[in-house]
Structure 1
Amino acid sequence: MQLKRVVVTGLGALTPIGNTIDEYWNGLINGVSGAAPVTYYDAAKFKTRFACELKNFNVTDFIDRKEARKMDRFTQYALVASDEAILDSGLDLDKINKLRVGVIWGAGIGGLETFQNEVLDFAAGDGSPRFNPFFIPKMIADIAPGNISIKNGFMGPNYTTVSACASSANAMIDALNYIRLGTCDIIVTGGSEAAVTIAGMGGFNAMHALSTRNESPETASRPFDAERDGFVLGEGAGAIVLEEYEHAKARGAKIYAELVGGGMSSDAYHMTAPHPEGIGVIAVMKNCLENAGLRPEEIDHINTHGTSTPLGDVAELKAISEVFGEHAKNININSTKSMTGHLLGAAGAIEAIATILTIKHGIVPPTINHTTVDENINPLLNLTLNKAQKRDVKVAMSNTFGFGGHNACVAFKKLDE
């Protein structure tokens, strides 16, 4: 069976460093940090008192107030980002076959704030079970793609992938395969997360996963730096319109890049810690290269998972050195989490978008906040430190990993006619 080609025709982003694709890209190439003191709740007693929240975002600018109240923030974010991506794609919704348009979305947690608030309200009451009738539909992780499909009338495959922080990368891979196999013409994919809450911050603090650099939040996310002390919690959404190449070509769509492959693997090692030698990461990148029909020496750029954790960063870079050998030093490696923080289930989506835009614009965004060399990291690797670098990027990969040992990797390529 001849697999169909899959291209990117629309992008949408809602991030801590920009509320549109253009704002996001400008933030990335200018090395803007999205970290700042928490404003959503009183964080005075928390070990970590900062996060990468959205800035200057008012949901009622996009969604009717009454409708917005029926949605958790992660669903609101999904609708806003997907609206931008669909508009950007130039799709005429009255002319496409909506039975062949799907929505496959990623969320690692879903409606955490809704769950938290409903339980706290119940605990503060007299024991009577007075729950909001929208409690369950606001909370469940699959409701975001459900709302996207309801709004737009898309009647193809519709579901959420949940694989912790690899969720939206897994969603993209599923979407790729549905289009490759001819099941769909178009799929809106990506992910959203809204875990900057007392439960989210408290839970990750209890695991010692978060940075506690409260005196300098803007420098706290520092992947590959010897003084990194954990990730910075972020929020937002990324949306990507994937389309079968001939379908896109027939309607004269602009094409950002081709999604040429995806790989998946499991560490099979630990609930939260990566394998110290990165064996699952080695496997996922090899799987992605094979699936995409690429040779290691063809890769120009890798947007790493790079969370700014002591163990994870070293293991991932070891894996890159193992997979790419001598060619590793020729690859522009970066971590955009140094700017956005870690968007958990939405990380794969916004980092894939950064990778796509790197191919489009020929600029690799920096890994900011690097001040101290880590002797455990191969000094020959180009980690794109502190300043964006111009480069003609023809083929690039994006890595995303999640608690539970879930690994996903996607590969994009400049369109080859």
Structure 2
Amino acid sequence: MRGKHPPLPKRARMAREIEVGRILSDHPNAMPVWDAGADGKWFVMPKAQAVATECLEDLKDPAALRDLVESLCSVLTAAHGIQAPGSPHGWVHRDIKPSNVLRLDGRWVLADWGIARRPPGQTTHPQRTRVGVSMGSEGFAAPELSIDAHRAGPSADVYSLGQLIGWAVTGRIPQQNIPLIPDSGPWRVVVREATRTDPSRRPATVRAFLDLIAQEIDTPSVPPVVQAETLRDALNAGAANAAEELVALAATHPDDAALYCDVLLTIDPEALIPALMADAPRALEIVRAMPELLGTHRSTERGEVDAVILWLFTVAHHAADAAQLDLLEESCNGAFAWDALWDQWTPQDKIRPWLRTLTGDAAGSVAGALRDHPDCARHFSSLANELRVDHRIRSAVSPPSPGSAGTAGST
């Protein structure tokens, strides 16, 4: 500060800037204070490479503007969070404008905390912000800063951020208490909501402001079930790779009941078999998830149980032909578990003749699955006396002989 005896308000402003600069010195988006005089008449900060006013053309790029806004929000979140016990908020900047936003070593930093509002309860000189004394910079300052700046909270900084965005998008300097809302584009709603005259109608916190930005600007992720519906339609239309993409999607979301039960079950499993057989790990994920998801997002119905058992049976049939025993066993375990619970005749009528055809390793794998699900195995007990059926299948479906349980127990 110049002069031997600088005015007290200027000294207080300098002291406040030093204080906040030191408090936030470790934050990458705050202009740090490196050194300061004991009397608060001078301080040292790094020299920035540019001021936001010099970067207006660069800020036409939405990504560049988003980076600037998020950088400011980051440091403001930290400042607003430095609260005294019982205080509703911490430090409020009250003078956010392009000339106080600097480019330092490849990042944006916020400077000039000279008129920052201390956390409630820590005010050192209330008369400096008495009612009727305007604070902040014209056009960027929130309306309440010209009425009762002492009561201004974080939403005042949100207003200034909105005006700064309006300045960057339109290239115009805002007028006092008149929101600078872009004519169109994704930032329009953001600026409109941030610059409401009534502070209670703005996003109350920087976090809420960031949520608003994300809501208006980010492309929402498409729910997996919607992606699956699109791929199903493409598959039905004969699109190449649609089956592979569906298999990959389902394997990635093994907890999405809607994807499995509302989409995958509506697809003829034969259309997916080539993709499933070509990717055994993903096929295992899918056949493991399918029976587990049935009934988790709505009441279970017999028609849906039938569909799941037949879907898994189709996979099992092809897995047996391809000698993919892990996939065969997993498919049978899921199908047999539901058949044991529901005794579904329609799937049984398809499974029974298939069991008659099994030989070799496939017969051994399926017999093991039947033994693991005795309540399902008994539905196929009629095969026990068919001599052309593999002996392991016949053994697995044979009713226990009288007294066998007691004998096993005594042993």
Tell me the TM-score normalised to structure 1 length: 0.21
Query: Relative contact order, CA 8 A, sep 6+: which one is greater?
Result: 1
Larger radius of gyration between Structure 1 and Structure 2: 2
Per residue, is there more helix in 1 or in 2? 2
Tell me the TM-score normalised to structure 2 length: 0.21
